[in-house]
């Protein structure tokens, strides 16, 4: 047997051995990538805003209206499921071991839908936009602030209790007339009882409830004042 013939004979075996070695190496790498000793972050969800009564001047004609709530627009820094921290020196950061159950805009949208539906004023329904069926009204929302502000350089080193800030720009649009009915800013600042994450989440819950309640009440009043079709 010549040397060339021996080399050709061993090529399949060589390829098989190389393939086996590569598969073993990749398997070891994948296994190490999938293993992590890091603890899963704590997850928090904002509470549902308390039920409100229909506006006093609601009429039968406005009670039949349907309203859609748009997903709030927000800067990339707060359009996330991370809990934002604004520290001294205009430093913007996040709690490392905590997350929201959904992104901040999505939680706000769900809260607004729940609050408006609870009023029973919008007989045509309260939906998230884009809705599958046309609605007479649209609530356009921009989430401007959804953060905790600390006095120190970061949340851990701040001695004073942090303050939660929530600010929302809301506009009610009459889709039938392509006209803006009302537009306003709703905001709340709630200090945490102490510099602990659990207290910060409670402050977020209260600030969010204040903003959502005010928006729902003002939207109710503006819808009730619309002229009958």
Which pLDDT score is estimated for 157?
Answer: 59
Which pLDDT score is estimated for 32?
Answer: 43
CB 123 within 8 A of CB 64: yes
Which pLDDT score is estimated for 56?
Answer: 58
Which pLDDT score is estimated for 193?
Answer: 94
Domains defined for the chain, CATH in brackets: 42-224 (3.40.50.10610)
Count the neighbouring beta carbons within 10 Å of the beta carbon of residue 213.
Answer: 17
Which pLDDT score is estimated for 41?
Answer: 80
Low-confidence ranges of the chain (pLDDT < 50): 1-9, 14, 16-35
CB 207 within 8 A of CB 166: yes
Which pLDDT score is estimated for 51?
Answer: 59
| Nearest-10 crossing angle of helices 104-118, 197-224 | 50
Tell me how far apart the alpha carbons of residues 122 and 111 are, in angstroms, rounded to a whole number.
16
Which pLDDT score is estimated for 89?
Answer: 78
pLDDT tens column, 147-196: 999 987 665 555 678 999 999 999 999 999 999 999 999 999 999 999 99
Kindly write down the DSSP assignment for every residue of 164-207, as one continuous string: EEEEEEEEEEETTTTEEEEEEEEEEEEE-SSSSHHHHHHHHHHH
Q: Which of 212, 197, 192, 208 lies closest to 83 in space, CA to CA?
A: 197
Count the neighbouring beta carbons within 10 Å of the beta carbon of residue 181.
Answer: 17
Which pLDDT score is estimated for 139?
Answer: 98
CB 99 within 8 A of CB 40: no
């Amino acid at each position: 047997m010549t040397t060339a013939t021996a080399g050709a004979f061993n090529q399949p075996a060589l390829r098989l051995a190389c393939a086996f070695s590569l598969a073993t190496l990749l398997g070891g790498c994948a296994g190490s990538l999938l293993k992590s000793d890091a603890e899963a972050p704590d997850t928090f969800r904002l509470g549902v805003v308390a039920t409100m009564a229909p506006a006093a001047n609601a009429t039968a004609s406005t009670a039949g209206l349907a309203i859609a709530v748009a997903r709030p627009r927000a800067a990339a820094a707060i359009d996330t499921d991370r809990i934002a921290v604004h520290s001294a020196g205009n430093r913007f950061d996040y709690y490392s071991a905590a997350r929201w159950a959904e992104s901040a805009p999505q939680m706000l949208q769900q809260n607004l839908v729940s609050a408006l539906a609870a009023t029973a004023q919008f007989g045509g329904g309260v939906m998230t936009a884009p809705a599958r069926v046309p609605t007479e009204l649209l609530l356009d929302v921009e989430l401007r602030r959804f953060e905790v502000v600390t006095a120190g350089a970061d949340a851990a080193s701040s001695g004073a209790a942090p303050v939660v800030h929530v600010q929302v720009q809301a506009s009610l649009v009459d889709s039938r007339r392509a006209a803006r009915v009302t537009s306003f800013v709703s905001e709340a600042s709630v200090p945490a009882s102490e510099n602990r994450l659990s207290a910060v989440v409670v402050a977020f819950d209260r600030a969010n409830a204040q903003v959502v309640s005010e928006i729902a009440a003002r939207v109710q009043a503006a819808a009730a004042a619309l002229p009958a079709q």
